[in-house]
Structure 1
Amino acid sequence: MNENIKILAAMRPFARFTRISLRDLVVTVLPVLLVTALGICAAYRFMRPAPPNTLTITTGPKGSIFQLNAEKYQKALAKKGVKLVILPSNGSLENLNRLLSPSSKVDVGFVQGGLAKGKQIDRLFSLGSVFNEPLALFYSAAKPITLVSELAGKRLAIGPEGSGTRAVAMELLKANGIDARNATLLDISGEAATWALIDGKADAAFLMGDSATPGDMRSLIWSPGVHLFNFVQAEAYSRRYPYLNQLVIPMGALDFGRNVPTSDVHLIAPTVDLVARDTLHPALSDLLIEAAREVHGRATLLQRAGEFPAPVEHEYRLSEDALRYYTSGKKFLYRYLPFWLATLVDRFLVVFVPIVVLLIPGLKLVPALYNWRVRSRIYRWYGNLIALERTLLAQHSAEEREETLKRLDEIEAEVNKMKIPLSFADQFYVLRDHIAFVRERYAKTP
């Protein structure tokens, strides 16, 4: 009994063996966890927030082609769970100004070409060209006119302020030497311009889809004494003004039986872009382009099937998300999952990828790092032991040797207090043997 007590007492100063050292494990795993956390934080830094479920589009007056197209977009987006709020306007120019204004809450809008000159549009981008918007110039005269310059001295309805119609009309009139000094310019469009022309209160009216309805144009086409102007110089206009395109209404296309029009009618038309702010979420960008394909992809009198939307840059840079969509289509997740679920999974992957790339390989290194840390503690005592042995061999006075021997005892006591995993017991005992070896060698040294 006394013998067992003596053995236990002798073992007290020895190292406490454990299956694993919690401190060493924490110190080893902590850097891996920190690197992974930094990777996740970096991913969050560049990750956009979840896409909103509401968008606001600025369009045109009620009943205009812009407004009618926006309503079709609204139905297409509703199928994906996104609400599209339609905000009427006077036309393209007001749409552009709203997109440029920080106080305006619009996200996207229809904007025709030729309006960006002199404006800071760096924060805007295009989701693509979505359709051509022909300029229809109607006039009443006893005989047809062939040149815009013949409108000098006439009463001309050029559209209200803020409309794209007015911007194009003023550009054409200026090119033909017509302004407020030699013509009467009326700030009306749509139904007001239609009735002014029919009632003889105007001699000509410039109409475009951003501020006039299809019904207004049909009324004028079938009104006696009202003619649709044939832009015989359409090719020249399209070359002078790059944002204008030449379109043709073939003879008889409106009514084969009555042969309306009686000959090919040439028109000029700016291209309309779907313009958005650079804060638009990529997922919503894809939805808008998908809706544009549904609305504008069919063949019409003035375009071929599949011609729009098109990734063509005019005044506004094409967004990277739009270019990616036109090149390779929707992202993989959005092809096979509902929109809300795809956005959720997409955001989850931002967190999951750093875990896979950093944490899993890092955890595989933990055993090696753990072993290295435990060995380094043992090797540190070997370094102290070697330095002490050299000191012992170099000292000759009794006081010096006694002081160094005391230090050797302290090293042995510290080593015996170490927490060592069982797997390193052999190395621990080898270290203790070497300490004893140094003491014996010291004792034999004269």
Structure 2
Amino acid sequence: MKRQRPQAPSFLRDHSHPVWRDVAVTSMPVAMLFAVVIALVVWLVDPAPPRTITMSAGPHDSSFMQTANEYRKILARNGVTLKVLESDGSVQNLQRLLDPKAHVDLALVQGGVSEGLDTSSLVSLGSVFYVPLVVFVRGRDITQLSQLDGKRIAVGREGSGTRMLSLSLLAANGIEPGGGTTLLPLDGLQAATELVAGNVDAAMLSGDSATRALMLRLLGIPGISVMTFTEADAYTRLFPYLDVIELPRGVLDLRRKIPSETVHLISPVVEIVARPNLHPAISDLLIEAAQEVHGMPGLLQRAGQFPNPLTRDYRLSDDAERYYKSGKSFLYRSLPFWLASVADRLLVLLLPIAVLLFPALRMIPLLYRWRVRSRIYRYYGKLIAIERAALRGTAEAERQALHAELDRIEESLNTLRMPLAYADAFYVLREHVGFVRAHLDEGTHAAGTHPQSTTRAV
């Protein structure tokens, strides 16, 4: 018969289990509290960038829509989905931003359409391009808007930024709706057609209504000219959201020298307007996309002129101001967007981690010591109760019950696992159990030989 090899005693293994269990139990509350605080910091202080944002643009064939689609392609390269919504133009875009139920994060808004609205809750990411007002008239003798009084004027469709701007400028020249001047809701090709047909005397075109091709066609028709704003500087003083820009001689067609002389125009700028809770990382991405889309030179702008932090109707956001001053942070310049966002959030967590970690590390040994010693102190509570009962001079049956209680305590101590660091306290406890047993035995002997001794002691 094969003899079984006796197992070597594994004292360290037997005692390691309660050590690790006690460490785990005492560390768990601290770890949970630590995790909750970190989660609150992440959620409240530096949430992750959203993967989807919504932008209100313009009509489906407008430059606003084309611009928004270019932004969408650039943001997609960084894993951010830009949902682009069609709209009637700047007025509806602004209304959507001000309406919490619209769930729109940002929009392209032309300057001058916020009159009468409380836009203090909105922020701007900067100006991105011009939308000049170009006034075509029949004849060549009109150089001021006030000369259009009593005539038929196409001022843009209802709800458009062109119409709001046109009505504001005409009102400054004493021309109001309902007066002797006929204001028609026409724009673009329709307004140009009516002008050529002689059904209107002037057409005020802006943005998509004043395309290069349309301007060339109108300026090639005898009897139609473009009005130069001789009082352009005065308009920029009265309407701070306007800039003076020039249409240089021959810029539309150098061979035919169209226009034949420099034309002074006034123009609002289009801004990227957002709600104030836009994530800083998304703000950086949008300005970077605007630099890629609008940074090249064009008919109305120089290279690098847009985007810029010169806002008109809205305050520049803090994140945009930081970007224009110092650009993207080191992490976002060096790492892919989502990896940089994770690293950036981890840096934000360093301070609360440092504040919480050191007290937590000091608390764990204290909790561990309290847990182990409380296990010993429970036995001492029972020993004190037995000793006090013995001092009261109880009857023999009660003393037998106290002996049985001591036996159960010793039996429990025989199976109790105690970390080695507390072995001295464990053996002192066993000695005290023996001390109480001896005291109880002495009381039993004294009760048998001197029945009244306990009573006198009490």
TM-score, scaled to structure 1: 0.77
- 1:76-124 deviations in Å (ceiling 9; x for gaps): 3344455555544432223223434456565432111121223344554
**Do the aligned partners of 1:140 and 1:225 also contact (CA within 8 Å) in 2?**
yes
SS at match of 2:243: strand
In 2, Cα distance between the equivalents of 1:65 and 1:386? 89
* Mapping 1:284-363, distance limit 5 Å: 284-339=282-337, 362=360
In 2, Cα distance between the equivalents of 1:178 and 1:246? 22
In 1, Cα distance between the equivalents of 2:381 and 2:311? 70
Quick check: 202-211 or 276-285, which moved more?
A: 276-285
2:138 equivalent in structure 1: 140
- 1:254-281 deviations in Å (ceiling 9; x for gaps): 5566655455432221121112345655
**Do the aligned partners of 2:50 and 2:80 also contact (CA within 8 Å) in 1?**
no
Change (3 A) 1:61 1:378: closer
2:57 equivalent in structure 1: 58
1:248 equivalent in structure 2: 246
Change (3 A) 1:41 1:338: closer
* Mapping 1:42-441, distance limit 5 Å: 42-43=40-41, 45-46=43-44, 48=47, 51-53=50-52, 55-60=54-59, 62=61, 64-82=62-80, 84=82, 86-101=84-99, 104=102, 106-121=104-119, 124-141=122-139, 143-180=140-177, 181-251=179-249, 253-254=251-252, 260-261=258-259, 263-278=261-276, 280-339=278-337, 362=360, 366-367=364-365, 369-379=367-377, 398-399=393-394, 410=405, 413-414=408-409, 417-418=412-413, 419=416, 420-437=418-435
Q: Which amino acid aligns with 2:57?
A: T
| Deviation of 1:347 (Å) | 7.8
| Deviation of 1:195 (Å) | 1.9
SS at match of 1:314: coil
SS at match of 1:223: coil
Gaps of 5+ in 2: 1-13, 444-452
Identity of aligned residues (%): 47
**Do the aligned partners of 1:60 and 1:88 also contact (CA within 8 Å) in 2?**
yes
**Do the aligned partners of 1:136 and 1:229 also contact (CA within 8 Å) in 2?**
yes
In 1, Cα distance between the equivalents of 2:137 and 2:409? 106
Match of 2:29 among 5, 28, 31: 31
In 1, Cα distance between the equivalents of 2:395 and 2:301? 103
Gaps of 5+ in 1: 1-16
| Deviation of 1:38 (Å) | 1.4
Q: Which amino acid aligns with 2:424?
A: D
- 1:158-177 deviations in Å (ceiling 9; x for gaps): 00011111001100111111
**Do the aligned partners of 2:27 and 2:364 also contact (CA within 8 Å) in 1?**
yes
SS at match of 1:309: coil
In 2, Cα distance between the equivalents of 1:326 and 1:318? 10
| Deviation of 1:233 (Å) | 1.8
Change (3 A) 1:404 1:150: farther
Quick check: 231-240 or 210-219, which moved more?
A: 210-219
In 1, Cα distance between the equivalents of 2:410 and 2:141? 111
Quick check: 285-294 or 88-97, which moved more?
A: 88-97
Aligned length: 425
- 1:10-39 deviations in Å (ceiling 9; x for gaps): xxxxxxx73342663443122123213313
Q: CA RMSD in A?
A: 4.1
**Do the aligned partners of 1:89 and 1:95 also contact (CA within 8 Å) in 2?**
yes
SS at match of 1:66: helix
- 1:156-199 deviations in Å (ceiling 9; x for gaps): 11000111110011001111111231211111111111222222
| Deviation of 1:293 (Å) | 0.6
Change (3 A) 1:103 1:441: closer
| Deviation of 1:307 (Å) | 2.7
In 2, Cα distance between the equivalents of 1:332 and 1:404? 79
**Do the aligned partners of 2:54 and 2:103 also contact (CA within 8 Å) in 1?**
no
Change (3 A) 1:147 1:404: farther
TM-score, scaled to structure 2: 0.76
